[in-house]
A and B are shown apart, each in its own frame.
Chain A
Amino acid sequence: MNEMFAGWPLLSIVTFMPTAGALLILLARISQRGDNAGYDNGVKLLTLIVTIATFFMSLFAFAAFQWDAPGFQLQEDIPWAFGASYAMGVDQLAMSLVLLTTFLTPLCILASWSIEKQVSSYMVLFLLLETLMIGVFCAQDIVLFYLFFEGGLIPMFILIGVWGGERRVYAAFKFFLYTLLGSLLMLVAIVAMIVMARAAGIENPSNIPALTAFAAQGGFSPDIQIWLWLAFFASFAVKMPMWPVHTWLPDAHVEAPTAASVVLAAILLKMGGYGFLRFSLPMFPDASHFFTPLVFVLSVIAIVYASLVAFRQLDMKKLIAYSSVAHMGFVTMGIFAGNEQGIQGAIFQMLSHGIISGALFLCVGVVYDRMHTREIAFYGGLVHRMPVYAAILLLFTMGNVGLPGTSGFPGEILTMVGAFQVNAWVAAGAALGVIFSAAYALTLYRKVAFGVIENPKLDGIADLDAREWITFIPLVIATLVMGLAPSYVLDFTSISAEAIANAYAGAAP
């Protein structure tokens, strides 16, 4: 396999394959006058094929990737202007997130089959969004990274605003402006870093490995690190989202169409964690060390507070959104524990949360498509009418709680082990959150699935159809495999985690 693709720009192909699909749809659109159902189905099918092809292409990239080699691989580098370049490359951390993205996108397209309004525009935007998401993880140049990172806001803004729920316009604005404010502060910091590196004679000052090496030699003094760290934190904390800047997330989630919710929870949130691991920890170790107590406190508040808030929600999507905030609290706690267990746990938790929260939003989408409400009180006794659905919902609820045997468990335990070594109280606070998460998740399940059917409208509700089966099977398999044999993933990501943890331990005072 390695020989077959030798010399191919695999990462660029993976990244821009969805864009090519989008252009194809646009070309088809020119030749087509007026919409009809058959044409729309063709567009959906084409999008599905393109995203599946992208997934296979990312598997080829994975095959060409050397598992146990540290550092960036599959590198491409084309000079651009002002010292920046189109540089692509992935390490184990980025590769695993690329795979998560390409794995989930076809499932999102399947879940979007019920879209009937402006289908071509929807699919084009979704494909562009996939390109931008993959690009974030593949970019090896900090300007290119920002291009992808920020560009992703545009399709998401339109997806929420056009195909969303009742308060979609409000949610779209809040999402965009919140994230943009954080990002522009980061942009100023990026500019400052490039200027400093250029002044120090670094040849390619926006290249991420070059900047990391520059930082490792003490290129950024501790005083400057504080400011740079805060600017990056402004962006990643909003993206993550951390308490108290999480308030855009429940709105965006509730109003977004199902597939956009999945992408938001499963992939966009991971960009925050990825940013912390790629920039904050390696480039500003002194500042990261200095701010660790702050991050710990915010993480524990997020875990406990968001779990309690989730308990009181009446809307299923909102409940899952708050549970995402709580789970991301584990990720930030693990990252800033700074040791190998913590970082490993954070990466694992990101991947696992991507699958589980994505699956939970899809579960909500299934009943929403049928009943057009997400109100928890509306449902009850679904197990009598939809046994398969109830079983799948149970699995993912348990995964959300972090039951051993599902993928939710290893990440939580590892982040707590990591945090325990740094501060036992933080780990204890987080453990409290685990209990709360069981409380809200099980309550949700009891109210929706168990009991007798009291609402007459639910009498005719049908169980999963073939399309939904196909959507859920890969997710079920992924959850169980990652839960029962986490070492497949952990062995792979450990190379990145070890490198980050060692560099951090070496640099921190």
Chain B
Amino acid sequence: MNAPLLDLTNSLPLARPELLLAGFALIAVVLGAWFKDRAFLALSVLGVITLLGAGGLAILFQPGAPVEILQGAMVVDGVGVFAKALIALSAAATLALGADHFVRTDEQRFEFPIVVVLAVLGMFVMVSAQDLISLYLGVELQSLSAYVLAAWRRDDSRSSEAGLKYFVLSAISSGLLLFGSSFVYGFTGSIRFDAIAAAIGEGAGGVGLIFGIVLMLCALGFKMSAAPFHMWTPDVYEGAPTPVTAFFAAAPKVAAVALMARVLYEPFAGLEDQWRQVVAALSAISMVWGSIGALLQTNLKRLMAYSSIANMGFVLMGLASGVDQGPVASLIYLALYLPANIGVFALILAMRRNNQPVETVADLAGLAQKRPWMAAMFTMLLFSIAGVPPFAGFIGKLLVFSAAVETGLVWLAIVGGIAAVIAAAYYLRVLASIWFAPSTAQLQPASGTIAVTATVMAALTFPVLVLALGALQNWAEAAVRSSF
């Protein structure tokens, strides 16, 4: 056999998760074209199973040491598998929520599960990218799917606006990514991450390379909605249908963070002193602006958008720290943050008032009197996102603070502490509406899927993940140690 063919036969078994996702998308399109929207429910269920299966395959066939596949375009390693598992789980949860929601609102369109799975395929490519081309391919596949999802309600002007806005701004950031990549390629002479790292080790670079890195970081900051590249987030979160917002708030964040970690710690590891300032600045601005910006929001989804900006700031705090603690802290932060976030969106989806979706903070008034269980879960999840102990989110904050202090970024930890207090104010505002305000209208009961999802996520937030932290630590540390 010739070399490329041999490489392909060796690669395919390790690309099982990606092949499963791509296979599902191709078959589902045909089925959908045949059965039309009647296939929605069946395809959604299959989509959830496929996503869980892809995550399971990634974990099951994890090689002991990193293995490069497809002629070095991608890599299968610990961090990639950790991120894939998180992406698959959160995408499966949000797809289930979304399907349930669309069935109830009678907006069953068979393309939904397919586009979600394609977006996840893009994320899988992102987190295992090993050169600049596969990096860009992954980002674009994910983004293009996301534009379609944001504009899902074609006849709703807000949704169309969200999709268009997302598309235009995201296209600019993709341009930045390509522009930055061209600088990196030009000044190091390679598109492969290991070759770039080697060239930097031999002293390649200079101002041009730094320029390229900064452009790439800006583009990735855009994808993970870090301030000051966050402007699209509140509008898209508000305009997109709530199930889509739930999806945006979870899986793409993991992909963007894992990709950022890989870019920082693989090709550009040798330039740590240069990029640390940039990442720390992104982190500080995101934490502060995400916290202040949310104070005046009345729309729940806009509020959650700002909350995600602030939380990405905390994740970046971990990434800005050294390789020993930083990526581990960021990965665990995400693993602890996602369940709470998905749970909150499940609860937002669950609540319908007079057959209208709940939109504003005031719509939640009196929840504690009408449905004490939902109020209790809302309380747990929001306090977890706010980082108040004893909930899981607190541990994430503790870990990124610890990583920052260990690297000498004490100022960043203090900024984070103050931002967390400001952020607490708006989470408390939501809770005050839930607990303290008199109830006004009747809330309709939630469906089974949504109630189960919210309960599972609340249970993960406390006490499951808190008790299982040791296992999570071992997994994340092993992943980072074997990868970077």
Contacts of A162 in B (CB 8 A): 368, 435-436
B372 touches A82 (CB 8 A): no
Contacts of B420 in A (CB 8 A): 180, 184
A158 touches B405 (CB 8 A): no
A172 touches B406 (CB 8 A): no
Beta-carbon nearest neighbor of A178 in chain B: B421
Q: Looking at the complex, which one of A146, A172, A188 makes contact with B389 (CB distance below 8 Å)?
A: A146
Stretch at the interface among A189-197, A394-402, A409-417, A453-461: A189-197
B470 touches A118 (CB 8 A): no
| Alpha-carbon separation in the docked complex, A177 to B369 (Å) | 25
B390 touches A147 (CB 8 A): yes
A191 touches B398 (CB 8 A): yes
- A173 interface residue (CB < 8 Å to B): yes
Considering the complex, which residues of chain B in the window 402-439 have a beta carbon less than 8 Å from any beta carbon of chain A?
Answer: 402, 405-406, 410, 413-414, 417-418, 420-421, 424-425, 428, 431-432, 435-436
A82 with B401, Cβ < 8 A, contacts A180-B424, A184-B417, A192-B410 known:
no
Q: Looking at the complex, which one of A82, A161, A173, A185 makes contact with B417 (CB distance below 8 Å)?
A: A185
| Alpha-carbon separation in the docked complex, A180 to B473 (Å) | 27
Beta-carbon nearest neighbor of B425 in chain A: A177
A177 touches B428 (CB 8 A): yes
| Alpha-carbon separation in the docked complex, A366 to B115 (Å) | 64
- B478 interface residue (CB < 8 Å to A): no
Beta-carbon nearest neighbor of B401 in chain A: A191
B372 touches A188 (CB 8 A): no
- A143 interface residue (CB < 8 Å to B): yes
Beta-carbon nearest neighbor of A176 in chain B: B428
| Alpha-carbon separation in the docked complex, A120 to B372 (Å) | 10
B369 touches A188 (CB 8 A): no
B402 touches A173 (CB 8 A): no
Considering the complex, which residues of chain A in the window 135-159 have a beta carbon less than 8 Å from any beta carbon of chain B?
Answer: 143, 146-148, 150-151, 153-154, 157-158
- A13 interface residue (CB < 8 Å to B): no
Interface flags, A94-127, vs B, CB<8A=1, else 0? 0000000000000000000000001011000000
A195 touches B406 (CB 8 A): yes
A188 with B405, Cβ < 8 A, contacts A81-B473, A161-B436, A177-B424 known:
yes
| Alpha-carbon separation in the docked complex, A191 to B390 (Å) | 16
Contacts of B398 in A (CB 8 A): 143, 187, 191
Beta-carbon nearest neighbor of A185 in chain B: B417
* Cβ distance B380 to chain A, nearest Cβ, rounded Å: 9
- A503 interface residue (CB < 8 Å to B): no
Which interface residue of A29, A173, A195 has the most chain B CB atoms within 10 A?
A195
- B399 interface residue (CB < 8 Å to A): yes
B421 touches A188 (CB 8 A): no
| Alpha-carbon separation in the docked complex, A146 to B390 (Å) | 9
| Alpha-carbon separation in the docked complex, A147 to B399 (Å) | 14
Q: Looking at the complex, which one of B389, B402, B432 makes contact with A150 (CB distance below 8 Å)?
A: B389
Contacts of A120 in B (CB 8 A): 372
Contacts of B19 in A (CB 8 A): none
- A169 interface residue (CB < 8 Å to B): yes
Contacts of A432 in B (CB 8 A): none
A82 touches B405 (CB 8 A): no
B389 touches A147 (CB 8 A): yes
B436 touches A177 (CB 8 A): no
A79 touches B405 (CB 8 A): no
B421 touches A192 (CB 8 A): no
- A488 interface residue (CB < 8 Å to B): no
B413 touches A121 (CB 8 A): no
A191 touches B432 (CB 8 A): no
A172 touches B372 (CB 8 A): no
- B469 interface residue (CB < 8 Å to A): yes
* Cβ distance A505 to chain B, nearest Cβ, rounded Å: 31
A154 touches B379 (CB 8 A): yes
A184 touches B421 (CB 8 A): yes
Q: Looking at the complex, which one of B410, B418, B469 makes contact with A184 (CB distance below 8 Å)?
A: B418
A191 with B372, Cβ < 8 A, contacts A154-B383, A168-B436, A173-B432 known:
no
A147 touches B435 (CB 8 A): no
Considering the complex, which residues of chain B in the window 210-259 have a beta carbon less than 8 Å from any beta carbon of chain A?
Answer: none
Contacts of B369 in A (CB 8 A): 118
B388 touches A151 (CB 8 A): yes
Contacts of B372 in A (CB 8 A): 29, 118, 120-121
A172 with B436, Cβ < 8 A, contacts A184-B418, A191-B413 known:
yes
- B110 interface residue (CB < 8 Å to A): no
Q: Looking at the complex, which one of B388, B421, B432, B472 makes contact with A154 (CB distance below 8 Å)?
A: B388
A195 with B435, Cβ < 8 A, contacts A118-B368, A181-B421 known:
no
A188 touches B470 (CB 8 A): no
| Alpha-carbon separation in the docked complex, A195 to B418 (Å) | 20
| Alpha-carbon separation in the docked complex, A79 to B471 (Å) | 12
- B147 interface residue (CB < 8 Å to A): no
Q: Looking at the complex, which one of B394, B402, B414, B436 makes contact with A185 (CB distance below 8 Å)?
A: B414
A81 touches B413 (CB 8 A): no
| Alpha-carbon separation in the docked complex, A298 to B421 (Å) | 25
Beta-carbon nearest neighbor of A161 in chain B: B436
* Cβ distance B433 to chain A, nearest Cβ, rounded Å: 10
A80 touches B469 (CB 8 A): yes
* Cβ distance B45 to chain A, nearest Cβ, rounded Å: 29
Contacts of B410 in A (CB 8 A): 188, 192
| Alpha-carbon separation in the docked complex, A191 to B406 (Å) | 9
| Alpha-carbon separation in the docked complex, A195 to B383 (Å) | 26
Considering the complex, which residues of chain A in the window 6-37 have a beta carbon less than 8 Å from any beta carbon of chain B?
Answer: 29
Q: Looking at the complex, which one of B390, B417, B425 makes contact with A188 (CB distance below 8 Å)?
A: B417
| Alpha-carbon separation in the docked complex, A81 to B428 (Å) | 29
A157 touches B389 (CB 8 A): no
A177 with B470, Cβ < 8 A, contacts A118-B372, A161-B435, A191-B402 known:
no
A187 with B417, Cβ < 8 A, contacts A150-B389, A151-B389, A161-B435 known:
yes
Contacts of A194 in B (CB 8 A): 402
* Cβ distance A138 to chain B, nearest Cβ, rounded Å: 14
Q: Looking at the complex, which one of B379, B394, B405, B414 makes contact with A147 (CB distance below 8 Å)?
A: B394
A121 with B417, Cβ < 8 A, contacts A168-B436, A169-B436 known:
no
Considering the complex, which residues of chain A in the window 188-226 have a beta carbon less than 8 Å from any beta carbon of chain B?
Answer: 188, 191-192, 194-195
| Alpha-carbon separation in the docked complex, A484 to B29 (Å) | 86
Contacts of B470 in A (CB 8 A): 79-81
* Cβ distance B318 to chain A, nearest Cβ, rounded Å: 13
B405 touches A195 (CB 8 A): yes
Contacts of B428 in A (CB 8 A): 157, 172-173, 176-177
Contacts of B469 in A (CB 8 A): 80-82
Contacts of A29 in B (CB 8 A): 372
* Cβ distance B373 to chain A, nearest Cβ, rounded Å: 9
Contacts of A151 in B (CB 8 A): 388-390
B435 touches A173 (CB 8 A): no
Contacts of A184 in B (CB 8 A): 417-418, 420-421
Contacts of A173 in B (CB 8 A): 425, 428, 432
A121 touches B368 (CB 8 A): yes
Beta-carbon nearest neighbor of A181 in chain B: B421
* Cβ distance B388 to chain A, nearest Cβ, rounded Å: 6
| Alpha-carbon separation in the docked complex, A188 to B413 (Å) | 7
A188 touches B401 (CB 8 A): yes
Contacts of B406 in A (CB 8 A): 195
| Alpha-carbon separation in the docked complex, A5 to B367 (Å) | 45
| Alpha-carbon separation in the docked complex, A147 to B383 (Å) | 13
| Alpha-carbon separation in the docked complex, A159 to B461 (Å) | 22
Contacts of B389 in A (CB 8 A): 146-148, 150-151
Q: A121-B368, A121-B372, A187-B417 are in contact. List 9 more A-B contacts (CB 8 A).
A: A118-B372, A157-B428, A162-B368, A162-B435, A177-B421, A177-B428, A180-B424, A188-B413, A188-B414
Q: Give the 6 A-B residue pairs with the shortest CB-CB distance, closest first.
A: A184-B417, A81-B469, A81-B470, A147-B389, A161-B436, A81-B473
Which residues of B are interface residues toward A (Cβ below 8 A)? Answer: 368-369, 372, 379, 383, 388-390, 394, 397-399, 401-402, 405-406, 410, 413-414, 417-418, 420-421, 424-425, 428, 431-432, 435-436, 469-470, 472-473
A-B contact pairs, 13 of them (CB 8 A): A29-B372, A147-B389, A150-B389, A151-B390, A154-B379, A154-B383, A157-B428, A158-B435, A173-B428, A173-B432, A176-B424, A184-B420, A188-B413
